[in-house]
Amino acid sequence: MRPMSANQLDQLKQITTVVADTGDFESMKAYQPQDATTNPSLILAAAAKPEYRHLVEQAVTELKATGLTAAALTEAILDRILILFGLEILKIVPGRVSTEVDARLSFDTEATIAKAHQLIAAYEKEGHSRDRILIKIASTWEGIKAAEALEKEGIHCNLTLLFSFAQAVACAEAGVQLISPFVGRILDWHKAATGKDYAADEDPGVISVRAIYNYYKKFGYKTEVMGASFRNKGEILALAGCDLLTISPGLLAELQASTDPVIAHLTAAEAAKSEAPKISLNEKAFRFMLNEDAMATEKTAQGIRSFAADIVKLEKLVEEMIG
């Protein structure tokens, strides 16, 4: 029996795996999530802070000593920065860290696989099992195919920038470990398109994740669903019971500050009642179904552009430090 005084974060942890969506180590220590996720934007924000500058400097110092030059040196330093942040996170969380492949590889299956191999090798060299690492890849057709191949090697993947049912179905069929549907960015698009606000139960992002969760559970897919990119606490509470939810420090603080009851809205029993038919997607069907979804098409492209731009900013920061 849960004590009535339990805060919402502790209540949520009883029914959903809580993940920290941040590159800030102190936030992870404060909220004690199971896993942590990062992305280029979060790493860029963290790398710009004085308290994390030493990790960037460490990467520059290590890689300059290798004799690499120009673009190869910059790329190697960027990868090392991602690994160094990941290593620090693995000291804090008991579970997994998600490390993202360069967004500029989102349409290149072979290059994505090669980069995933490099990242996993770097973690394994540091003594970490690949079971504690999720390679984050954009939910393009090429990214999903890369993840399918990686999963067969025991390299687990987190398919990110996921906005549509088509992407979710393709990921499940590919046998990926986990998907990250972006709840808040779906809401952003609909608010901009309609000019209206949405209550949590009417939130298009919430509705999308519920549909995916129900479909996965009804048809026995093992792929984990991790709601991401939240704009408010209501979205999180409306998805209580989801496999995982990755939450920013600000919203973790809001949950911790409230003792209102948390109710599981997503359950396997409810999912079994879903009337959604089973579908299967080859590349042509996937591309057409995604193309028919204007929101998902626009937000996936926008997300890739945004993450790619932040990688470029991180590259410039590194190049300035190389001198």
Among residues 13, 136, 217, 299, which one is catalytic?
A: 136
Torsion of CA 92, 267, 170, 279, to 10 degrees: 170
CB-based contacts of 167, cutoff 8 Å, min separation 6: 139, 144, 159, 179, 290, 296, 300
Task: Report which of 226, 252, 65 is spatially closest to residue 161, judged by C-alpha positions.
Answer: 226
Q: In degrees rounded to 5, what are phi and psi of residue 104?
A: -70, -10
CA distance 275 to 247: 30
Structure tokens at 124: 């394994």
CA distance 181 to 169: 12
Q: Is 97 helix (H, G, I), strand (E, B) or coil?
A: strand
For 35, 229, 252, the CA distances from 20, given in Å and listed in that order, are 6, 11, 8
Confirm whether 299 is a catalytic residue.
no
Please, are residues 74 and 319 in contact by the beta-carbon 8 Å criterion?
Answer: yes
For 59, 60, 83, 129, 178, the CA distances from 122, given in Å and listed in that order, are 13, 16, 7, 11, 21
CB-based contacts of 219, cutoff 8 Å, min separation 6: 172, 278
Q: Is 250 helix (H, G, I), strand (E, B) or coil?
A: helix
DSSP bridge partners of 158: 136, 178
Please, are residues 79 and 122 in contact by the beta-carbon 8 Å criterion?
Answer: yes
CA distance 184 to 238: 13
Q: How many CA atoms lie within 13 A of 322 on its CB side?
A: 23
Q: Catalytic positions, please? A: 136
